[in-house]
Structure 1
């Protein structure tokens, strides 16, 4: 795993924070925090796109965000536990890992003419 894939993972982890923040923000300070997290997650994702194909990176980014948000909600915020949710999270993560395994990174970012 190289630096660009680590950036995709970091961006996905930040997405978990802002997705939960969207639900729980209730004043202007928390909304500013959510906006900063959204901005930061996309800045980090854009840095990763220097070498990682956009479709794969975005799928991994949203997969981490989706799975992480569901798990954090269940563990910390009292969302109902369900084996069906766990099964589908694992299925989603299997797809994300599969995309990562079959993606060939470009050695150079190709310019558009």
Structure 2
């Protein structure tokens, strides 16, 4: 597995935390954690985007973050579990996996970072 894709996955993982933090953080320490999650998330996404196609990186980042946030809402905050939601998350993740599969991990040499 390409280390750049690992960065995208970790960035999406931290995206879930900062999105939750934007809604639920109250007080200094929760907001500090939210800001740290934002910094880590965007730093890793930007670093991956230097080596991988940025459009695909962003789509995978947002898709995985969105799915993770919806799942976290269901598991942690009592959001109602609906089959339609699960179906749509599955479609979203299928699109993310499809983009990842058709993306060349090593773009043509004419493009310098």
Q: TM-score, normalised by structure 2?
A: 0.92
Alignment gaps of 5+ in structure 2: none
Rounded Cα–Cα distance in structure 2 between residues aligned with 1:29 and 1:74: 24
Verify the 8 A CA contact 1:50 1:109 in the aligned structure 2: no
Rounded Cα–Cα distance in structure 1 between residues aligned with 2:47 and 2:58: 12
- 1:33 maps to what in 2? 33
Find the residue that maps to 2:19 and give its secondary structure.
Answer: helix
Find the residue that maps to 1:15 and give its secondary structure.
Answer: helix
1:102 aligns with 2:91: no
Please identify runs of 4+ aligned residues in structure 1 that moved more than 4 A: none
Find the residue that maps to 2:63 and give its secondary structure.
Answer: helix
Q: Superposition RMSD on alpha carbons, in Å?
A: 1.6
Rounded Cα–Cα distance in structure 2 between residues aligned with 1:109 and 1:12: 29
Relative to 1, partners in 2 of residues 1:96 and 1:23: Cα closer, same or farther, differing over 3 Å?
same
Rounded Cα–Cα distance in structure 1 between residues aligned with 2:59 and 2:104: 15
Q: TM-score, normalised by structure 1?
A: 0.92
